[in-house]
């Protein structure tokens, strides 16, 4: 099972919106609406930001939103803030034999 494909880096200025893509296959992203997104600051554990494609856990800013089209899921951060600078990973359910597969990760830089 190969990792889901994410861009290595995305950048934006404060206040702007950015979108991170997460491309899988018809065996994972395309088959299930079970993509989740995680934010990881340097030296810290990952934090759940989006689950089941577009749902936000309690306490996560509504500036974060998720969507999916075909085999590609996306995370959009609107009103970019300095604190959003971090690594972001997607993860998809991939069936009962493989279970879970993470994306390659995207470094978000706030200019």
Partner 1 sequence: EVQLVQSGAEVKKPGESLRISCKGSGYSFTSYWISWVRQMPGKGLEWMGRIDPSDSYTNYSPSFQGHVTISADKSISTAYLQWSSLKASDTAMYYCARLKAAAGRSFHFDYWGQGTLVTVSS
Residues that bind partner 1 (CB under 8 A): 1, 3, 32, 34, 36, 38, 40, 45-48, 51-52, 57, 89, 91-93, 96, 98-105
Query: What SS3 string covers the chain?
Result: CCCEECCCEEEECCCCCEEEEEECCCCCCCCCCCEEEEEECCCCCCEEEEECCCECCCCCCCCEEEEEECCEEEEEECCCCHHHCEEEEEEEECCCCCCEEEECCEEEEEC
Which residue number, 1 or 78, has a Cβ lying nearer to partner 1? 1
Q: How far is the CB of 48 from partner 1 (least distance, A)?
A: 5
Q: How far is the CB of 18 from partner 1 (least distance, A)?
A: 19
Q: How far is the CB of 104 from partner 1 (least distance, A)?
A: 6
Which residue number, 32 or 72, has a Cβ lying nearer to partner 1? 32
Q: How far is the CB of 2 from partner 1 (least distance, A)?
A: 10
């Amino acid at each position: 099972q190969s990792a889901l494909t994410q861009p290595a880096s995305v950048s934006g200025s404060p206040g702007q919106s950015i979108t991170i893509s997460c491309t899988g296959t018809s065996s994972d992203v395309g088959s299930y609406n079970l993509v989740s997104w995680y934010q990881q600051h340097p030296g810290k554990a990952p934090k759940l930001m989006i689950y089941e494609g577009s749902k936000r856990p309690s306490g996560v800013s509504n500036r974060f939103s998720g969507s999916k089209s075909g085999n590609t899921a996306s995370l959009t951060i609107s009103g970019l803030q300095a604190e959003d600078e971090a690594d972001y990973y997607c993860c998809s359910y991939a069936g009962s034999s493989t279970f879970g597969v993470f994306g390659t990760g995207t470094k978000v830089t706030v200019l």
